[in-house]
């Protein structure tokens, strides 16, 4: 069965970077896009970007352009999201989610990774 | 981009029906048939329960139905059950290779 397993909770200081992983299993890694969506406390979910694992192409939300980098390791069937220059407003649960290429309906999600930014 | 508007809460008794609305604009909901609904129980991964406005993924009970009129999409849950109590989020393609979400509706089964 399809499974997206994310790395554990992180606590970071303002200005630092965080890298969250999303290990996939149960399907062919290169045939679906992987997205990152975050949800800050009390806020609506916010789409951050996607990666096409077959070729590594990425697309980022303008809200995170320049601060977010999404990568993948096809041999490990794992995607990564790195967010730099962290500030307190980046405290949120970060999710990876799967979709068909070119689609934005997310049929499987990871369990979420809490990232806390605090001095 | 504008966000999608959902009522913060909805409720119904077991067996009843409840409808949750999601209002956007002609640039998102009104412009595309790409509305999704997600069910989210606290501490668990969100679950896709509706895509393309009214298509249920395999395994989602037919008690869940979706529709759209103009810039407003709706999710109806019929025959409410205790396990339907959760947060429900809508999303829509917003153009320019982007997706936007609603603020969520907390559904309470009385």
Out of B3, B45, B101, closest to residue A110 by CB: B45
Residue A102's pLDDT is 86
**Cβ separation A107–B57 shorter than 8 A:** yes
Q: Give the model confidence (pLDDT) of A59-84 as tens digits.
A: 999 999 899 999 999 999 999 999 99
Residues 6+ apart with CB under 8 A from A2: A24, A25, A26, A27, A98, A107, A108
Q: Is the pLDDT of residue B1 over 70?
A: no
d(CA A112, nearest CA chain B) in Å: 7
Size of interface A-B (CB pairs under 8 A): 48
**Which residues on chain B are in Cβ contact (under 8 Å) with A34?**
none
Q: Give the model confidence (pLDDT) of A16-63 as tens digits.
A: 999 999 999 999 999 999 999 999 999 999 999 999 999 999 999 999
Residues 6+ apart with CB under 8 A from A117: A11, A12, A13, A14, A16, A86, A87, A88, A89, A90, A91
**Cβ separation B36–A106 shorter than 8 A:** yes
Residue A23's pLDDT is 98
Among residues A80, A34, A40, which one has the least CA distance to residue A63? A40
Residue B104's pLDDT is 96
DSSP run (H or E) holding A1: none
Q: Give the model confidence (pLDDT) of B68-83 as tens digits.
A: 999 999 999 999 999 9
CA distance linking residue A7 with residue A81, whole number of Å: 11
B15 CB-contact burial (10 Å; exposed 0-12 / middle 13-18 / buried 19+)? exposed
Query: Which spans in A56-104 are helix H?
Result: none
């Amino acid at each position: 069965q399809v499974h997206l397993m994310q790395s554990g909770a992180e606590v970071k200081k303002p200005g630092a970077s965080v890298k969250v992983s999303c290990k996939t299993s149960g399907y062919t890694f290169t045939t679906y896009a992987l997205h990152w969506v975050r949800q800050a406390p009390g806020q609506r979910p916010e789409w951050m970007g996607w990666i096409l694992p077959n070729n590594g192409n990425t697309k980022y939300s303008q809200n995170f352009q320049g601060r977010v980098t999404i990568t993948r390791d096809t041999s490990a069937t794992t995607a990564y999201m790195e967010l730099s220059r962290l500030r307190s407003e980046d405290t949120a649960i970060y999710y990876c989610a799967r979709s068909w290429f070119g689609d934005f309906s997310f049929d499987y999600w990871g369990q979420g990774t809490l990232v806390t930014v605090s001095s | 981009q504008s966000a999608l508007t959902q009522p913060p809460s909805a409720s119904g008794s077991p067996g009843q029906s409840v409808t949750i609305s999601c209002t956007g604009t002609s640039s998102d909901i009104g412009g595309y048939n790409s509305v999704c609904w997600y069910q989210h129980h606290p501490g668990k991964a969100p679950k896709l329960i509706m895509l393309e406005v009214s298509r249920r993924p395999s395994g989602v009970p037919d008690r869940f139905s979706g529709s759209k009129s103009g810039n407003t999409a709706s999710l109806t849950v019929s025959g409410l059950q205790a396990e339907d109590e959760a947060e429900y989020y809508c999303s829509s393609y917003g153009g320019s290779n982007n997706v936007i979400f609603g603020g969520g509706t907390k559904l309470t089964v009385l």
